Structure 1
Amino acid sequence: MTAPTTRVPLSAFWHDLPVPARWMLSTIVVDFFGNGLVLPFSVVYLHEVRGFALSLVGVLLAIPALVGIVVVGPGGALVDRIGARPVMTVVVAGQLVTLVVWATTATVPQAVVATVLQGLFNGLAWPTVNALIASLVPSGLRQRYFGVNFTLLNLGIGVGGVVGGLLVDVHRPGTFVALYLVDAATFLAPLAVLLGPLRHVSGKAPTPAADAVTPGAVVADAATYRTLLRDPRLLPILALGFVTAFIGYGQLSSGIPAFARAASGISTQALGWAFAANTAVIVVLQLVVLQRIEGRRRTRLLCVMAAVWGVSFVCLGASSLVPGTVSAALLFGACASVFGLGETFFQPTLPAMVNDLAPDHLRGRYNAMSSLVFQVASVVAPACAGFLVGHGLAGGYVVLLLVGCLAAAGLALLAERRVPPEVNGVRRSPAASGATTR
């Protein structure tokens, strides 16, 4: 029996949020303002400013995910062993250094070094930050936290994208260098929080006694990733994560901008405004969506996301039919905006499912597995997009994305049959809860 859905005001969420978690949220806008400065322009920077062939750019942008695949497993185990905060401190400092290297990249070997460093620290970042969040935020607040975090993140990215689009000029490489250096400086804010207000937080959970473990949970004291893969509840979530990463975030920073430039003739300024529109949709609608998805099945919300992304990719394909025109720019803006609507259903749900399923003492490993499938998809996605777009197969690229949307919806429905209702976001009424404990 499902409890009635109620809309909890956001003021209550902030009031109930532990103080360390508030500090975590406090730096998001500044940090991701820097990310927004450079996010839409990685392909443009390497291809049009540094002169690398588009096919080579696709390979270079796949390197971070390849490196991430190597480091994410040991990183997740390290988080469980020493705690999320110490690992996160090293990661943030490393990301700062990486952006300085990006700013000075002028040759292929330098680009390889930059992308390897990016993969090293980004590969560690995702499972570490999600594990840290889950250690600070109670289960009942996690879905909202991930949603609010995503709103603030996109506010920073959106403002950064607009500023970056106004400032960069492919004929003045120094403008790109300046943006990467500013992005590096923004990492000083989260580093200060980790070394200051959160210095006493470890993010490490003790291993529970055998008689305290929930039936069906992973209980191994030194659990390997093979142990986790024997959890049938986790497998469909991982498969869903792979597909959504491939058609979504694996394309957003590489394939979609490459398509926009090569097939649709979109200017760098229009790219910046399209990403700003994406962000505006998220900032305006994410909190509204959060109010309406409380207590609803997360797998059904992911089906909605797949349908919305399908509409977005149709707009993307249509923009290539009128290349270099205002209509193309408007259609690409529509693509980015509708994609943002789908993100408001995705971001609060899948991370919350992983962390609600994970035992506290194995949270680093569960988040590492989730990160791993995203990294694998991010290896395949840029390379695939680079090949298709670079060889004039724009139509095939769009069809591939649409097929991926159908696959994502099917995997979401499969996951619904495997995961417990509580992990799927379904609240139980007090009477039902009592019946299950008798």
Structure 2
Amino acid sequence: MRSFWNALPSEGRWLLSTVAVQTLGRGMTLPFTIIYLHEVRGFDLGFSGALMSLIAITGLVVTGPGGTLIDRLGARRVLIAGLIAMIAGCALLAFATHPLVATIAVMLIGVNFGVSWPGFNALIATVVDGEVRQQYFGINFALVNLGIGVGGVIGGFFVNVDEPATFTAIFLIDAITCLVPLGLLLGPLRHVRTQPAADDTAEEHGGYREILRRPAVLWITALTFLSVFIGYGQMEAGFPAFARQVAEVSTRVVGISFAVNTAVIVLLQFAVLKLISGRRRTRVMQVMALIWAASWVLLGGAGLLPGTLAAAVGVIAYMGVFAFGETMLQPTVPAIYNDLASDRTRGRYNAINSAAFQGGAITGPLVAGVMLGEGRSGWFIGAMVAGAVLVCVLAFVLERVLAPAANGVAVEV
């Protein structure tokens, strides 16, 4: 950690040292937004769910244009606009007693989600490079989870559906924490440029169509989508639904499992970064997929013993094993995209990464809802394991078309 920190420029240290604070507010609101909309503001549950989906849909819609604007105007300007939208959205949502106000609020939040991923990734890739970049993405992921996890715990103890003011407070705190990255962008990071200089006449190679014609980009995008579909796309829908309806564990067990997920990521990310340093990123993805397959088998086993202590242990174990796999995903995929990109196309490459992630996060819950709603729990687990095996296959294909440098292999000059 000391050598990594010493290798970072001051801009990288500013970014990394404030990550947990930036995500603390989001952690306080993320698990309770739908509860707030339905139980506190009295919106229909179906409408509340649609509002939650609208955040992701809005983010997906603005990701493409956002990536282009990042390359043309710079990540800093686009991120500032996104953060202002986030602050306004959280403030509106804190007092949203009318469906129209809530709709506008979640769309503003979605705008920030759509530009923040490609924007901050482009900013990070501009500040750090090489092996340090891969380490940065991994450590950044651990700190994001730390902030969200701690925020979720604080929010769980603080909010009360019988006291609407407690929910108003957490959404206002979410807005306030956005002032931290906004202050960085207006202060210490104001000189960081991700866009080309005005006098740069180099030819631009990188419309979305041209980028997606590259075999490596096509395969890493398919791999990202599928990984999120069987991974993050199930964490907020498929996993909780299976745990409650099939394994028949308590909500307390589900809550503990999410805490275990955060703890494993925070505790193991540094060790995993050391293990995967210098190894082919595609091979790391294959190991991740096998670990995820094992986690789904554990969850399936919990479903065979519903309502028992063994089921509770299986549900918690699933999240712990799954988290171990997560520590391998986040350092590798963003690093591949940014090593494939040039300085002139970095925003669009990261936008493609973000779109693939959001696509998996949107479709994953839909499939889980249909399969588990029809009582096909066995088929659901089988589909997740099969998806993990397919990720291994896609990683093998990607390795054949990916340049060694982008795959994390040191190239001797």
Give the match for residue 160 of structure 1: 151
Correspondence list, 1:23-422, <5 A: 23-46=14-37, 59-105=50-96, 109-169=100-160, 174-206=165-197, 221=204, 223-323=206-306, 326-422=309-405
Deviations 1:166-205 (A, max 9, x none): 3345565554443333222221211221111112223223
Deviations 1:394-432 (A, max 9, x none): 33333332222112111111110110011001113x4xx
> 1:11 aligned to 2:2?
yes
Q: Distance in 2 between matches of 1:418 and 1:223?
A: 19
Q: Distance in 1 between matches of 2:109 and 2:381?
A: 28
Return the offset for 1:268: 4.5
**Structure 1 residue identity aligned to 2:87:** L
Alignment size in residue pairs: 412
Q: Percent identity?
A: 47
| C-alpha contact (below 8 Å) 1:161/1:272 kept by paired residues | no
Structure 1's unaligned 5+ residue stretches are 1-9, 211-219, 434-438
Please say which of residues 160-169 and 87-96 is displaced more in the overlay: 160-169
**Structure 2 residue identity aligned to 1:31:** Q
Q: Distance in 1 between matches of 2:13 and 2:340?
A: 24
TM-score (norm 1): 0.85
**Structure 1 residue identity aligned to 2:169:** A
Instruction: Please give the secondary structure, in 2, of the residue aligned with 1:67.
Output: helix
Instruction: Please give the secondary structure, in 2, of the residue aligned with 1:360.
Output: coil
Change (3 A) 1:269 1:170: farther
Deviations 1:118-166 (A, max 9, x none): 3222011111111111111123311011011112112212222322333
| C-alpha contact (below 8 Å) 1:43/1:258 kept by paired residues | no
| C-alpha contact (below 8 Å) 1:162/1:273 kept by paired residues | no
| C-alpha contact (below 8 Å) 1:165/1:273 kept by paired residues | no
Please say which of residues 143-152 and 191-200 is displaced more in the overlay: 191-200
Instruction: Please give the secondary structure, in 1, of the residue aligned with 2:331.
Output: coil
Please say which of residues 111-120 and 364-373 is displaced more in the overlay: 111-120
Change (3 A) 1:172 1:329: farther
Change (3 A) 1:28 1:235: same
Q: Distance in 2 between matches of 1:422 and 1:222?
A: 20
Q: Distance in 2 between matches of 1:107 and 1:411?
A: 46
Q: Distance in 2 between matches of 1:263 and 1:201?
A: 51
| C-alpha contact (below 8 Å) 1:60/1:115 kept by paired residues | yes
| C-alpha contact (below 8 Å) 1:316/1:332 kept by paired residues | yes
Q: Distance in 2 between matches of 1:268 and 1:94?
A: 33
| C-alpha contact (below 8 Å) 2:226/2:360 kept by paired residues | yes
Greater relative CO (CA pairs within 8 A, separation 6+): 1
**Structure 1 residue identity aligned to 2:219:** P
Deviations 1:309-342 (A, max 9, x none): 1222233334444555554443322222111100
Please say which of residues 159-168 and 411-420 is displaced more in the overlay: 159-168
Please say which of residues 370-379 and 386-395 is displaced more in the overlay: 386-395
Please say which of residues 249-258 and 275-284 is displaced more in the overlay: 249-258
Change (3 A) 1:247 1:48: farther
Give the match for residue 216 of structure 1: none
Return the offset for 1:72: 1.1
Instruction: Please give the secondary structure, in 2, of the residue aligned with 1:421.
Output: coil
| C-alpha contact (below 8 Å) 1:54/1:386 kept by paired residues | no
Change (3 A) 1:141 1:299: same
| C-alpha contact (below 8 Å) 1:265/1:324 kept by paired residues | yes
Change (3 A) 1:259 1:58: farther
Structure 2's unaligned 5+ residue stretches are none
Deviations 1:278-299 (A, max 9, x none): 1110111100011111110100
Change (3 A) 1:39 1:400: farther
